[in-house]
Amino acid sequence: MKLLYFFIIHKAEPYFIENQNKQICANCKFFIPNKNECSKFGSINIVTNEYKYEPAIKARTDDTKCGEDAIFFKQNYFKFITIPYYFLTENNTIVLLWSSILLPYICLLLYIK
C-alpha cells in the first residue's frame, strides 16, 4: 500500500523549472546577443585595439564575476535598438545588397501612387 501511495504522490508532484526567478543575460545591457558575450568582462589588445569579451555563460558560472545571482545585472531599456544594431553589423553586406535591389522598386511604387 505504501508503494502505491508513493507512486501516486510522486506522479502528481509538479516539476519545477530551476533558475526561473533569476536575471537573464539576454535582458542585460552588457550582453552582446550575436556572440553571446558579456561586455562587462573582457580585455583589450593594446596593439590592435581589439576587445575580447568573456562568454556570458562563463561570466555567470564564475562567482568572482557576475555569478549565478547576476550581481552586475543592469536592465537593458534600449533592447529595441541594440538587437537590430548587432544584426546590421553582422549582416551589413546582405542588407546593402537587398536595399540596392529593392530601392528602385520602392521608388517606382511611390512614384506611381
pLDDT digits (tens, 9 = 90+) for 20-60: 778 888 889 999 888 899 999 989 989 998 999 999 999 99
Helices and strands (DSSP H and E) totals, the chain? 4, 3
- Report pLDDT for 17: 72
Name the grid cell of 25: 543575460
pLDDT digits (tens, 9 = 90+) for 83-100: 788 878 777 777 677 777
Residue 60 region by backbone torsions, left for phi larger than 0, else alpha for psi between -120 and 50, else beta? alpha
pLDDT digits (tens, 9 = 90+) for 8-19: 555 555 567 776
Overall domain count for the chain: 2
For residues 31 and 71, state if they share a domain.
yes
pTM of the full structure: 0.60
Residue 9 lies in a domain: no
Q: Which domain holds residue 31?
A: 23-76
61 three-state secondary structure: helix
